[in-house]
Amino acid sequence: MNFLQNPPRFLFFTGKGGVGKTSIACASAIELAASGKRILLVSTDPASNVGQVFGITIGNQITDIPAVANLSALEIDPQAAAQVYRNRIVDPVRGVLPDDVVRGIEEQLSGACTMEIAAFDEFTALLIDSKQTADFDHIIFDTAPTGHTIRLLQLPGAWSGFLAEGKGDASCLGPLAGLEKQRAQYKAAVDALADPIRTRLILVARAQQATLREVARTHEDLADIGLAQQYLVINGVLPESEARQDPLAATIAQREQAALANIPEVFKNLPTDLLALKPFNLVGLPALQQLFTDVQSAAPSLDASTSDFAAPNLSTLVDQIAADGHGLVMLMGKGGVGKTTIAAAVAVELAHRGLPVHLTTSDPAAHLSETLVGSLDNLTVSRIDPHEVTEQYRQQVLTSKGAQLDTQGRALLEEDLRSPCTEEIAVFQAFSRIIREAGKKFVVMDTAPTGHTLLLLDATGAYHREVAKKMDQAKLHYLTPMMQLQDPKQTKVLLVTLAETTPVLEAANLQADLQRAGITPWAWVINNSIAMAGAKSPLLQQRAQNELREIDLVVNQHAQRYAVVPLLKDEPIGVPRLLALAEHSQK
């Protein structure tokens, strides 16, 4: 592995959920420990459980791993860290400020950005040669801070009561005053990250065009602030031997090779490793020890077959959606799970039944909307450019809120407006003009904000709650935008996921976040299922068998109703293939 050659003291693995960064971090720790080096493995990923992988309880303390000589581990729970961080800020003002203001501050501090800053606060000491880590040759982190977080920590005056001074009304992040360490410690930590002698960043991706484009943006974002010592690992590449055994496997291999042949220009000079897709789940020491080796796939046993697997298809969900005659259908899920394709399939299926549909997409690759425009009666398509509307929103906020700020305050506001939540807000505001049509037709939206962002956006804040109380007393009828989203008769949220451990866990966390905002997802859609596809390749058959446990988890623990969409041989582009995708069921 190129990325393990002459490793510096710190190795950071970064990538989107489900690409395998935690597994690769664990396998790297095992490999380096086997060479006689003392290794500390640090988990800060809420979707990982290093303790479970090694069969012991770890928690927030350095713990030796008995099964692996020279290896210790530490688990930082970012949600617990964020709660401690919130309490440091909010507890002193409880009972001093009005309850509504306190709730507002708590919500400001409930987003992903705050969780990332709190996790960084926790592992800062590990980066600056403290006594705690002096005995270790290498420290491996299974996730890395984003460029956005690092830039925030570098800003002068960033921890001076931003929200308390009324500067952060547009902010999803709120104050940085809860940071516990001294500014000098954060500077030393950021310097360690940017030092190629001490730190190496490993970008983990899959051989898919969308995933590679996304990780290319991460590469540029981090390189721009001096974190240029980067390696690329493309994980889960289907072996050629499997492609010869199965038309579906052959198609997957062709797509992957096309993505690799058209890899973004910024990666062409980076040291790159390809890791083959494994037939087994990467849990447990024996599995992790095989991650960097070639493994032959044995044919699965008869009782492991998925040939009799059946599940509701997407069309069965559309039957229930169509019965209402109109309404808002919002597709939600983490990146790379196929939200846009499923949204298009739902829209096409509804329009095919003679129902009026407006599909609105923020898909940056406009080919989908171009394929659909004017190609089906009853269907209209609009596209929102997320970059364009986000920039408009930023300028609007900087003009209004930023006008009265000093240089430090404006710098913090500008950085805060680069957060992922800002794009969610801007895109949703652009979508909201179309949502009104849902009273007369179906509006299908291919993306939606998290519960946290909806709570920030919610017009039913303290003022509107007071108005609502008065309207209740006067027996007047009223409807706020949030009330429309909370009403399952008017809005149906479909959570899209994959039948893999991390995407299912991320979707469950997203569901819990929505429920905080009073929105319960109406259904789950498990996309690109190998179990539903009837694969004949031994490796894919074993992967299909692994999917059944995740599908069972969705059905029995998470979803009120669900559908499973197969991994298709032909990409579902265009009306005929989208209709086939919606109606497909296992034969």
Active site residues: 18, 20-23, 45, 502
Q: For 6, left (φ over 0), alpha (ψ -120 to 50), or beta? A: left
Between the alpha carbon of residue 268 and those of residues 118, 223, 253, 263, the distances in Å are 34, 15, 21, 8
- Closest Cα partner for 534 from 247, 129, 273, 271? 247
Which stretch of DSSP H or E encloses residue 407? Answer: helix 407-416
Which backbone phi and psi does 519 adopt, to 5 degrees? -120, 120
Q: HEC string of 274-314?
A: EEECCCCCCCCHHHHHCCCCCCCCCCCCHHHCCCCCCCCCH
Q: HEC string of 458-486?
A: CCCCHHHHHHHHHHHHCCCCCCCHHHHHH
Token pair recorded at residue 107:
């919500």
The one-letter code for the residue type at 157 is: G
In angstroms, the CA 24 to CA 141 distance is 11
CB-CB contact of 209 with 262 (8 Å): yes
Per-residue DSSP letter, 60: S
Which stretch of DSSP H or E encloses residue 352? Answer: helix 339-352
The two beta strands, 327-332 and 442-445, are parallel
